[in-house]
Amino acid sequence: MEQETKRKQIIKKIASIFLIVMLILTFFSNTIMNYSLPEVATEVVTGGTVSNKVRGQGTVETNSNYEVMVSGTRVIKEVKVEVGDTVEKGQVLFTFEEGENTELAEAQDLLDQMELDYAKSMLKMAPDYTSENMDIKAAKKDLEDAIDAKEKAQKNNKELKKAKKEAEQAQTAVDTQQDKVDGIQEKVDAYGEVGDYDAAQAQVETTKKELSSMKTQLSDLEEDLADAQAVGEDTKELKRAIRDIKLEISNKESDLKTQEQLANSLKTTSASYKQLKEELETETKTLESLQKNLKEKNAKVEKLSAALSLKDAKAAVEEKQKTLTQLLLALKEQKEQDGLSQQADNLDMQDAQKKIEKQRQLVEKLENSNDLKEIKATDAGTVSQIDYKAGDSVTADAPIAKIQLSDSGYIVKITITKNKSKLIKVGDEAIVENVWDEDLTAEVKSIKADPENPNQNVIVAFEVKGNVDVGETLSLSVGDKSNRYDTVVPNSAVKEDSNGKFVLIVTVKGTPLGNRYKVKRVDVEVLASDDTSSGVSGGLYEYDNVITNASQPLEEGMQVRLVE
């Protein structure tokens, strides 16, 4: 019995120890977990006032601009300015390539066609009465012949333009090939000035033969000297001859060495020299072929130029047309009693004549501007836009650039939300925050919807007066009214993502082991902001705790711990 009691006491002690250990482990595990959580700083949401200042940055622009345009189709040769450049009145902006004005050619072709159609319509208007006199028949035949001649002249004129263009291309090809041949000829001449390898090698062989002959002569003299010494004859002349021939041999050997060095150096260039001469011969033949082709093209141009000119053909048609017109009008007067009314035809003739005259004036206008080689600035200003680059083709009256006029004043544009635009009005004075100049002023000139986002944003234009430069960036603020809001939060608490602006608040849940803090997202709309605070609306209430700072990025539902 006593042993049973002791056993129960031991079991109780073990159970108590186990419970104590479990409590200790639970406490420390909870504490360790808390220290591993992100640490956040919070502030309480309160009501308060916010100063409603609208701020923004913009670039200084001139208040107006003009478009640079040309008459007639042109190909840009060079763009003389860049966006942002300041230009003076009369300064060259663009230069144009030389060439045919395609708009003039099209206008001329249309005029020619209108005149032909008019002439043909007159032929149809001439009634073929049996009693028609021979003069009218002859006039119709003359006009038909003149029209045929004009059509042939038009075709010949087109062929002549084509032939001239081909001749110009052939001339360009000849000039290019001539430059190529001249370049090769210069290289050949340069090699020729250095010397010819075959000639240099031949000189080496000649010198070797001369040297060999001298050495043979020296050997003979030395034998003669030995013979004279043996018999006791005078050797003075022989010794002098031997000395002279040795000196000549020494000089000749020096010459041979120099000649061999020259020949060796020329040997390395000989192959290139021969190759260049062959290339020169080939390119010269090509040049001769191109010159022959140019001659043929020029002959064709000369032949086509000798034919009836389009101008003369037009004059002939006009003359025959005038004659037929006079005869037809005379016939009309005679036929008035027949009751044939040609009022509608006359109106058509008058309308056609007006259209022809209008087209003729257009052609004259284009002819007068056909020699345009450059375009200049008509007023001083700053280049704000360039729509074309060198090599581009521009059409008549199409804007190719914009220039902001320097004498029109300055403006700065900023984009703000519609809500913020309610805080300002036209005429409000603005403060320039990044330039310390008392004479520099800004004023709201206009408030208009943003074309790119008309439902959300507006563009505010400020008129700026004072010492500024186009392209300079200004920071502006306008409005200083203070309004009270039910929920005001620090600016550091307001976040934004693709879904809009929001704040993160801390929610509290009590547990047996203490309070647990979790993150909750609340979407808001910012009604007003100043340097430190923002008045907001949404699912946020006074005395909520908003997170202003965190030790690591947060997500909704994440458990956190508060800064101690």
List, for residues 50-93, the tens digit of each pLDDT value.
Answer: 776 787 889 888 777 777 877 667 788 888 888 878 888 888 88
At 328, the pLDDT band (50, 70, 90 cuts) reads confident
CA distance 324 to 138: 9
More confident residue, 22 or 127: 22
Buried b (16+ CB within 10 A) or exposed e, 374-399: ebebebebbbbebebeeeeebebeee
- Helix 102-125 and helix 134-194: axis angle, to 10°? 160
- Mean pLDDT score of the chain, rounded to an integer? 80
For residue 484, what are the CA distances in angstroms to 50, 389, 536? 7, 56, 11
**pTM score of the predicted model:** 0.33
For residue 118, pLDDT over 80 is answered with no
At 546, the pLDDT band (50, 70, 90 cuts) reads very high
Q: Tell me what the mean pLDDT of segment 360-366 comes to.
A: 72
For residue 100, pLDDT over 80 is answered with no
| pLDDT at position 424 | 82
CB 210 within 8 A of CB 273: no
Assigned fold of 64-98+373-406:
OB fold (Dihydrolipoamide Acetyltransferase, E2P) (2.40.50)
529: tokens are 């902001």
| pLDDT at position 312 | 82
Q: Please, what CATH class does the domain formed by 46-59+409-562 belong to?
A: mainly beta
Assigned fold of 128-339:
Helix Hairpins (1.10.287)
